[in-house]
């Protein structure tokens, strides 16, 4: 694992990916993106990890794509490189992923945060998509996700770089699930991860899979998917345990089976 990205297991059930390239405000080089993808895949494959958190530093979650690296590439080199696939690998992470955002969360950095399921923002966080100022567009899902999140008109103001969202606005608009004092996003994200890790893991992951279907499928197909998923969960030992624990007025002990 390279130095720019660390993968840790801070406590049972939770994995942590930290972008640690503060001198470049965590700009997303090929290496950083690859390490994030590899880190998440390692956490996905680890049966002891139920939830992951992705975090940057105090000044920046990530200030977007590495523009020095972009300057040295043409479109052919970009296409042949690992970036596009790395983004798909990140989106394919199938356990809950919480982003802890402090400071700048720009361009590809904003898209990385939007690739998570929940965002915890520290006051002082700033979200923007400045790509059009560079002759680019948010090519890693930012346009599609922000239009779905904010609606067409509000999203365009952000996507044309006319609107930077501070942490409070991001929270009011539903982009950030929680707003916490500056410097407390990681702590709050880890607390959230710990709570999610205590829930029935197969059910938590099935909800994420269903939510992904909801993004793509017509309503009737989505409901059909959810029904099948519900029946599959009904057959799990964890559902037996969860229901029994409720009736016996005790905390459930879920095993992920």
Q: Which sequence positions are flagged as catalytic?
A: 65, 108, 111, 131
Give the integer Cα–Cα distance in Å for 212 and 206.
10
- Binding segment toward ligand CO8, per CB under 6 A, in 6-14, 127-135, 178-186, 206-214: 127-135
Residue 139 is a binding residue for ligand CO8 (CB under 6 A): yes
Residue 175 is a binding residue for ligand CO8 (CB under 6 A): no
Q: At what angle do helices 219-234 and 201-216 cross, to 10 degrees?
A: 170
Task: State which H helix or E strand residue 120 sits in.
Answer: strand 118-122
Residue 87 phi, psi dihedral angles, 5° rounding: -60, -40
Residues 73-112 that bind ligand CO8 (CB under 6 A): 83-84, 87, 104, 106-108
Of 112, 106, 22, 30, the residue nearest 64 (C-alpha): 106
Give the integer Cα–Cα distance in Å for 114 and 109.
9
Nearer to ligand CO8, 164 or 210 (CB): 164
Of 6, 11, 54, the residue nearest 186 (C-alpha): 54
Give the integer Cα–Cα distance in Å for 53 and 27.
18
Residue 162 is a binding residue for ligand CO8 (CB under 6 A): no
Residue 252 is a binding residue for ligand CO8 (CB under 6 A): no
CB of 46 to ligand CO8, least distance (A): 27
Give Cα 157 distance to the centre of its chain. Answer: 23
CB of 67 to ligand CO8, least distance (A): 4
Among 4, 17, 18, 25, the residue binding ligand CO8 under the rule CB under 6 A is 25
Nearer to ligand CO8, 144 or 210 (CB): 144
Give the residues lining the site for ligand CO8 (CB under 6 A).
Answer: 24-25, 27, 63-68, 83-84, 87, 104, 106-108, 130-131, 134, 136, 138-140
């Amino acid at each position: 694992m390279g130095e720019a990205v660390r993968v840790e297991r801070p406590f049972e059930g939770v994995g942590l990916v930290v972008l640690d390239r503060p001198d470049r405000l965590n700009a997303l080089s090929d290496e950083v993106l690859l390490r994030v993808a590899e880190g998440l895949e390692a956490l996905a494959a680890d049966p002891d990890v139920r939830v992951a958190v992705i975090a940057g530093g105090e000044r920046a979650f990530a200030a977007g794509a590495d523009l020095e690296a972009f300057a040295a590439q043409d479109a052919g080199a970009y296409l042949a490189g690992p970036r596009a696939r790395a983004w798909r690998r990140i989106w394919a992470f199938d356990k809950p992923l919480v982003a802890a955002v402090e400071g700048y969360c720009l361009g590809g950095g904003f898209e990385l945060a939007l690739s998570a399921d929940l965002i915890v923002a520290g006051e002082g966080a700033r979200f923007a998509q400045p790509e059009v100022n560079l002759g680019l567009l948010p090519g890693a899902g930012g346009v599609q996700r922000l239009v779905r999140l904010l609606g067409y008109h509000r999203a365009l103001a952000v996507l044309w770089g006319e609107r930077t969202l501070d942490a409070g606005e991001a929270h009011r608009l539903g982009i950030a699930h929680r707003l916490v004092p500056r410097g407390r996003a990681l702590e709050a994200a880890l607390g959230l991860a710990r709570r999610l890790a205590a829930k029935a893991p197969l059910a938590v992951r099935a909800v994420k899979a269903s939510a992904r279907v909801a993004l793509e499928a017509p309503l009737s197909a989505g409901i059909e998917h959810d029904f099948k998923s519900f029946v599959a969960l009904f057959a799990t030992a964890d559902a037996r345990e969860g229901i029994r624990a409720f009736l016996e007025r005790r905390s459930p002990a879920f095993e992920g089976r």
